[in-house]
Each structure stands twice: as C-alpha cells, then as structure tokens.
Amino acid sequence: MKKIALHGSKNVIHAQLRRYRELRKLTQDQVAAKLQVMGVNIDQQALSRIEHNQRMVTDYEFACLCQVLQVSERDLLADFYNPAES
C-alpha cells in the first residue's frame, strides 16, 4: 500500500477532531458508536489513531465526523487553513 503523508502528517484534522470531541464531552467510544450507526466502520482504536495523526481519513469519514460533532468542514480543517494559529 502506498504511504501518503503531507509534511509527515497522515491527516490535517487530528487536533481539531480531538478538540471538538472533548468540547462535546464525547468519548472516542461514543463517537465511534455514532459513526457506526451512520455506516462508517471506525472503532475506538481507529479514532484514536486519527487523533494521534497515525491514520488517514476518507472524505466520507470526514463528512460523517462533521455531522457527529456538529461542526462545519471548515471547523475541522482550521489547522489547514490557519496553520500559524495551531
């Protein structure tokens, strides 16, 4: 499998994902359960790997994460659009 990374990052949402999950007072297990109800095959371990910048995120997973956390796509991509502020 081809390894894909940008400046060593597997994804650009890891920090904001964790931030918004904690703001919503949701555990990784709770987020994973909500995603699974939506048909996204992510368990707690996969979510942890995303938050620790060790796993890529597909576009569908990204869209569903936004819905679960009740944030916009731009909110989760804040570190991409404003790297100096992260």
Say what the pTM is.
0.88
Find, among 7, 16, 6, 5, the residue nearest to 76 by Cα: 16
In a domain, 40, yes or no: yes
In a domain, 6, yes or no: no
Judge contact between 54 and 14, C-beta under 8 A: no
Residue 65 clears pLDDT 70, i.e. is over it: yes
In a domain, 55, yes or no: yes
What are 1-51's pLDDT values in tens digits? 555 656 678 999 999 999 999 999 999 999 999 999 999 999 999 999 999
Residue 86 clears pLDDT 60, i.e. is over it: no
Give the whole-angstrom CA distance, residue 28 versus residue 34.
10
In a domain, 4, yes or no: no
Domain of 51 in residue numbering reads as: 14-77
In a domain, 20, yes or no: yes
CATH label of the domain that carries residue 34: 1.10.260.40
Number of domains in the chain: 1
